[in-house]
Structure formats: structure tokens, C-alpha cells
A = this chain, B = another copy of it.
Amino acid sequence: MPTKPEKKRRPATLADVAQMAGVSIATASKALNGRSQVKAETRARVFAAAEQLKFSPNAMAQNLISGRSGTIGLVTHDLEGRFSIPTLMGAEDAAGNGRTSVLLCDARGDALREKYHVQTLLGRRIDGLIVVGARPDPRPSLGPLPVPVVYAYAPSENPHDTSIVTDNRLGGRQAAEHMLACGRRRIALITGDSDYGAAHDRVDGAREVLDAAGAEIVQGDALYGAWSEEWGRTAAGLVVAQHPDIDGIICGSDQIARGVLDTLRETGRKVPDDVAVTGHDNWEILALNARPQLTSIDMRLEELGRQAAALLFDAIGGRADEGVHVVAPRLIPRASTGPRVA
């Protein structure tokens, strides 16, 4: 039987509990906090009273004394986006397991809004701050703050800050090594916006591996375009027309890979029999629904967020670890890659 939510009432204070238990405030506090200088029977009375009054200690008062808020700030720059969310999740996870809560702010890529939020958070006496970027390129430092800061996903430009990012070059290497392991030798690189450092890093990683193995990069270089299916379709059309003997395509994102797969299917190539395809990001909604399912590089963003939080807690504990840390991605093999079938 549904009941109306109860009227708001002033939450019980320690004084209320003490009075009901017939002890002093000090004793009540000791009893509830497990201090050992309390008679068992007294303790029981206090607990009973607390229970009955649904007493929950006022964290604001506790924090005022301890000087710490038990809270960390999390400023994100693209709450909408694909990349900041898992990072945020990981951080929330790592924090929630301890006894710290997360104050979330969305700055939407706006430096002014960011400044404002940071100011507010500092007023709330956060114990530390994580700044999650929207894209992996370096960003300006917030400068010296009274609390530790960790930059996640997008590193700070200042090498003395603590940052943690995904290893894009390694991601590129992993894709290329997988292609070689599948016996591919004539490989195209199709990636997104050339403005993104990440696009170049991934290409560089792949190139290192392919060059070392003496495999061919068709066109001699990667094709830069946009992070879209449309570009994937277009680029794949170009590549296939000019290099009919191509046997592998490494894509800079899963979206691009989806477009590439469409074009390959529609031009009569079999994946992976004729051409193997890898994506990047392991965005499951795209990768798992692809035909065939898409092999992709997973950046382990959630792990990145967790480590960001861990670095922050270390720094709060006085063991700051400055510099840029990296999280190794991993390749998730699926049906879009495999041995050649001549």
C-alpha cells in the first residue's frame, strides 16, 4: 500500500541521542565511534537511541573538525561523450569503494566554466580533483592548486602535473601486430581527423611494426579524414579501387571501421577471408553489431579512471607521482580478423 513520503523533519543530532540515552554528548560520541572507554551496557543504550532516532552523524560537522571533506571533485569536459564516461565510472568506482564521494561538474570544454567549477569545488574543500578531458590531446594546466590534481584522458601540458592517458601508439602497434599474425602484408591505414594527436600516434605505432616486418602500407601513409562511417565508406572505396590486392585495413575508430566493412561487403570482398579489418575504441554498440563483429582496440578507459583515482589518493596521502602515466590498451579479437583464406 503506497504511502505518502514523510514530512521533512530536522534530522536527529548527537545531542538528541545522548538525551534519549541519558548520557552526555561526549559519551554518546564515544559509544557510537567504538571508543573503548564505554561500558557495554551504556553503549547498547546509546545505540538503541541512535537506531530509534535514525541518527546519522552530520558529515559537515565531522568534516569541519577533520579538515577534510571526504570528497573529490570530478570535472569532465564531455559528459555527453563516449570517452569521458567510462573514465568517470572508473573514478567513481575507485572512490566509492573507499569512503569518499564524488562531486561531479561538467565544464563542456569551456575553460571559464572549468575555472568557475574548480573554484566552487575548492570552496567545498575537496580533498583532490580529477579533470577528465574530452580528447586525448594535451590541455593547459590548471596551475598550482591547494589540492592534488590528476588529469585523465587528456594530459596536462605541464609535465610536473600528474596525468594519466591511454597509450595510443601501443594501440596502433597492437593492431598492426595482429594483422601480421593473421598473415596480412598489404595494409591500409584509415583514420580520422588529422588534428587529433591520437590519430597520428596510432598511425605511428602501426607503422613502426609494419615497417619492421617489411609489410606494405598501401598509399605509403595513412588516410586522414573524419571520425565517421561516411569517411570509412569513402576511404575504403578509394583504397580498394587503387589497391585491389589489399588484405588488411587498420581503422582509427570503430565508426570508421563500420563504414569500411560496409564498402567491403558492397564491393564483394569477404571479411576476413579477403580483407581483415580492425577498429579502435571497442565501442560495443558498433563493434558487436557489425557484420562480421569487429576486432577492436579497447582503451580500458574504466581502468584509466580507476588508476586516475588511485593516483589521486596517493597524492592526497602525500605520495604524489608526477608525470604522464599510461594505460596499455588491449586488442579484442572478433570475427573481422583471422587467417587469410585464399
A interface vs B, CB < 8 Å? 2-6, 8-9, 11, 54, 56-61, 63-64, 69, 71, 74, 79-80, 82, 85-86, 88-89, 92-93, 96, 99, 101-106, 117, 119-125, 141, 143-149, 157-161, 228-230, 255, 258-259, 285-286, 289, 322
Sorted nearest first, the 4 A-B pairs with minimum C-beta distance are: A6-B144, A229-B289, A104-B104, A2-B158
**Are A4 and B160 within 8 A (Cβ)?**
yes
Q: Are A147 and B8 in contact (CB under 8 A)?
A: yes
Residues of chain B within 8 A (CB-CB) of A74 are: 104
Closest CB in chain B relative to A64 CB, distance in Å: 5
Given contacts A2-B159, A79-B88, A106-B92, contact A121 B101 (CB under 8 A): yes
Given contacts A5-B161, A60-B124, contact A80 B85 (CB under 8 A): yes
Determine if A141 and B230 form an interchain contact, defined as CB atoms under 8 angstroms apart: no
Bound Cα distance from A230 to B290, whole angstroms: 9
Q: How far is the CB of A125 from chain B (nearest CB, A)?
A: 6
- Check if B59 sits within 8 Å of A11, measured CB to CB: no
Q: Which chain B residues lie closer than 8 Å to A11 at the CB level?
A: 122, 125, 146
CA distance A157 to B3 in the complex (A): 11
Closest to A119 in B: B56
Contact among B54, B103, B141 with A101 in the assembled complex (CB-CB below 8 Å)? B103
Which one of B89, B120, B289 lies within 8 Å of A106 (CB-CB)? B89
Which chain B residue has the least Cβ–Cβ distance from A92? B106
In the complex, residue of chain B having the shortest beta-carbon distance to the beta carbon of A100: B120
- Copy count, this protein chain: 2
C-alpha spacing A106/B306, complex, angstroms = 14
CB of B106 within 8 A of CB of A145, answer: no
- Give bound CA distance, A10 to B30, whole Å: 28
User: Which B-chain residue is minimally distant from A2 (CB atoms)?
Assistant: B158
- Report yes or no: B92 in contact with A3, Cβ–Cβ below 8 A: no
Given A56-B122, A59-B124, residue A145 in contact with residue B5 (CB < 8 A): yes
CA–CA, A72 and B224, complex, Å: 44
CB < 8 Å: which of B80, B119, B120, B229 contacts A89?
B80
Cα distance A125–B58 when bound, in Å? 7
**Nearest chain-B residue to A149 (Cβ)?**
B5
Contact B123 A106 (CB under 8 A): no
- Complex Cα distance A74/B114, Å? 20
Q: Do the beta carbons of A96 and B105 come within 8 Å of each other? A: yes
Minimum CB–CB distance from A51 to chain B (whole Å) comes to: 13
